[in-house]
Amino acid sequence: MDEQTASKGGFYWRYLFLFLGFVGFISLGLVGFIFLPIEAAPKKYQFDIQVKNVSRLCHAKPIVTVNGMFPGPTVYVREGDRVLIRVTNHAQYNISIHWHGLKQFRNGWVDGPAYITQCPIKTGNSYTYDLKVTGQRGTLWWHAHILWLRATVYGAIVIMPKEGTPFPFPRPNSEVNLLLVAIILRCGVGEWWNNDVEKIEKQGSKLGVPPNMSDAHTINGKPGPLFPCSEKRKKYCQNSIKINFPSHRFAGKSLRSDTFVMEVEQGKTYLLRIINAALNDELFFAIAGHNMTVVEIDAVYTKPFTTQALIITPGQTTNVLVRADQVPRRYFMAARPFIDVPLAIDNKTATAILQYKGVPNTVRPILPKLPAPNDTAFVMSYNKRLRSLNSPQFPANVPLKVDRRLFYTIGLGKNPCPTCQNGTQIIASLNNITFVMPQTGLLQAHYFKLKGVFSTDFPDRPTITFNYTGAPLTANLGTSLGTRLSKIAFNSTVELVLQDTNLLTVESHPFHLHGYNFFVVGTGIGNFNSSKDPAKFNLVDPPERNTIGVPTGGWTAIRFRADNPGVWFMHCHLELHTSWGLKMAFVVENGKGADQSVLPPPKDLPPC
Ligand code: C2O
């Protein structure tokens, strides 16, 4: 498949790829209109979890997919819809799917994180996620929520506004989804999917060290032409595992099948829905020669602002308007990690091409200027520009009075591990507690009042106060282990300060809260100062979102109203850190009202 076929437009492109059994997607907003809004008739999707062979960077390997697609299918809904997504597991791995950011009131049963709100769907079984789209519009996404399966099991959720409700910004001529991700294709690790994926995590924790980093970043499942299948790589890979390397892939034509191309028409405006589905990397994104106007984040409208580049953490989504108002040619769109600590990561740039209609494929695209990989100042100032729209129609209901103040330190650490390489294992913790995954769903345990599954004594603040962000602390790195949750009264207002620490090293952490949006009222570098910093909080139009990057050696304060009863997971969205235990959960109690308690579990909820 070459660019010419790719550029013919939405439908042809989409279905051709579907048949090819891999890749991704550009799906014009048009598809959203196929579904006419018939009240009470839910939209239905069938997700078949199946293992498919996919080839990237001259490396073919079996991966877990939804319906054989990589990335998976886009879910198109409208605000107010009910959508039934039946997930059938044909793969040999346990699976569960999370609808990241799609708030489900009183119904954590369909939230998806394995062993938190449900037990996994076992091979041969199905579970129907009965979802409601309430009070949200924009872009969200879905992904597997068990071990590292979300590396390939993910896709976009597009929420159109209610019928007759326009966008609060100029209507774009067309829409494109962009899923930014990291892919792991390392030769040695390539075998990983041939084995039991669950072995990886076990193996990783057995060694007690970080696993290999990814080999490429991708845009809509494609790394772009900056990743040729080099001869060197070919040799290296052939020595380590047996796979097929079709030599024709070196020819210019087939190389382009590794590149996503978006065709634009001069003078038209495009809505780009950008999703960071990477496992472990915060990413910068820019388009050569074109500014972007940010209009929505995490399915909440923002005050529009224009920027040359943006930062997006794993878990976050960003909608931007781009006007094709430049000299017609080919322009690169590029994504590259942001990392402001000296840690080894995959720092390669993924590219896609923005191509004006009629420009031949032979024209060399121009690369955009991305911020430097360690440009903390850019990240801080970009995040500062993010403001909720806060209009009469879309108000920002920021809690002004706080019922419950929480202060959680984020730390890395080392625990003894007799089977590990150095006798120790790298772990992570919140308030020095490394979360231990239960064997049964926490929501079930809560709802059926099962004893011995979890405790509700997660501390509101760390037991020891210290200079969190001073010199690196390398002694006494042990943590306590436990499935400890924090109990929150229904409808109380919560302020949570997430404080990074220099235990082992400082690092930025994108934190995601399930079941809620929160307001990011403040952030800063260094230690949070409870007497001075709150005075600087934005309580008028702070950004409202579901995932926030806590800066390296800094803090972030969020507020939310606990009006959604249930058990809700909170974790770092760097998969590596999640598996190291950087997670906890809130138990939000039932309210007194008739419609303020957790709904009964669905009949087909997977048993443990
Ligand atoms: Cu996007 Cu708990 O995850």
Q: Which of 379, 315, 388 is nearest to 525 (CA)?
A: 379
**CATH code where residue 193 lies:** 2.60.40.420
Number of domains in the chain: 3
Q: Which atom of ligand 1 is nearest to the CA of 143?
A: 1
Report if residue 516 sits inside a domain.
yes
Q: Among residues of the chain, what percentage have pLDDT more than 90?
A: 74
The CA distance from 560 to 242, in Å, is 52
In a shared domain, residues 359 and 257:
yes
Cα–ligand 1 centroid distance for 98 (angstroms): 7
DSSP class per residue in 96-150: -EEEET---TT-GGGT--BTTTBPPBPTT-EEEEEEE--S--EEEEEEE-STTGG
pLDDT at 227: 74
Q: How big is the CA angle at 584 (ends 579 and 585), to the nearest 5 degrees? A: 130
Give the pLDDT band (50/70/90) at residue 229.
low
132, amino acid identity: K
pLDDT at 216: 79
Main-chain phi, psi angles of 192, to 5 degrees: -50, -40
In a shared domain, residues 200 and 332:
yes
Cα–ligand 1 centroid distance for 546 (angstroms): 10
> Over the chain, what is the mean pLDDT?
86
277, amino acid identity: A
Cα–ligand 1 centroid distance for 145 (angstroms): 7
Cα–ligand 1 centroid distance for 266 (angstroms): 38
What is the arithmetic mean of pLDDT over 159-164? 94
Give the pLDDT band (50/70/90) at residue 27.
very low
pLDDT at 26: 34
In a shared domain, residues 227 and 376:
yes
Q: What is the CB < 6 Å shell around ligand 1? A: 98, 100, 113, 143, 145, 315, 512, 514, 569, 571, 573
In a shared domain, residues 411 and 378:
no
pLDDT, one tens digit per residue, over 116-145 is 999 999 999 999 999 999 999 999 999 999
Q: Which atom of ligand 1 is nearest to the CA of 100?
A: 1
Q: How big is the CA angle at 425 (ends 422 and 430), to the nearest 5 degrees? A: 150
Q: Which atom of ligand 1 is nearest to the CA of 113?
A: 2
Q: Which two tokens mark 42?
A: 């839910």
Q: Which atom of ligand 1 is nearest to the CA of 112?
A: 2
User: What is the span of the domain harbouring residue 81?
Assistant: 32-171
End-to-end CA distance of the chain: 44
In a shared domain, residues 520 and 557:
yes
In a shared domain, residues 307 and 362:
yes
Cα–ligand 1 centroid distance for 366 (angstroms): 35
Report if residue 6 sits inside a domain.
no
In a shared domain, residues 411 and 366:
no
Q: Which atom of ligand 1 is nearest to the CA of 150?
A: 1
- Whether the pLDDT of residue 163 is over 60: the answer is yes
Q: Which atom of ligand 1 is nearest to the CA of 571?
A: 2
Cα–ligand 1 centroid distance for 171 (angstroms): 30
The CA distance from 100 to 571, in Å, is 12
Cα–ligand 1 centroid distance for 113 (angstroms): 7
In a shared domain, residues 508 and 578:
yes
Report if residue 130 sits inside a domain.
yes
Report if residue 200 sits inside a domain.
yes
The CA distance from 347 to 350, in Å, is 10
Report if residue 177 sits inside a domain.
no
Q: Which atom of ligand 1 is nearest to the CA of 578?
A: 2
Last residue of a domain, one of 384, 418, 443: 384
pLDDT at 34: 47
Cα–ligand 1 centroid distance for 168 (angstroms): 28
Maximum pairwise Cα distance, the chain: 67
Last residue of a domain, one of 356, 384, 412: 384
Cα torsion 556, 560, 565, 566 to 10°: value is: -10
Report if residue 346 sits inside a domain.
yes
DSSP-derived pairing of the beta strands 544-545 and 292-297: unpaired
In a shared domain, residues 57 and 153:
yes
Report if residue 455 sits inside a domain.
yes
Report if residue 235 sits inside a domain.
yes
Cα–ligand 1 centroid distance for 144 (angstroms): 9
Give the pLDDT band (50/70/90) at residue 14.
very low
Main-chain phi, psi angles of 9, to 5 degrees: 130, 170
The pTM is what?
0.88
In a shared domain, residues 165 and 285:
no
In a shared domain, residues 226 and 303:
yes
Last residue of a domain, one of 326, 353, 384: 384
In a shared domain, residues 165 and 195:
no
Are the beta carbons of 48 and 246 closer than 8 angstroms? no
Q: Which two tokens mark 321?
A: 């308007």
Q: Atom 3 of ligand 1 has which residue's CA nearest to it?
A: 100
Give the pLDDT band (50/70/90) at residue 180.
confident
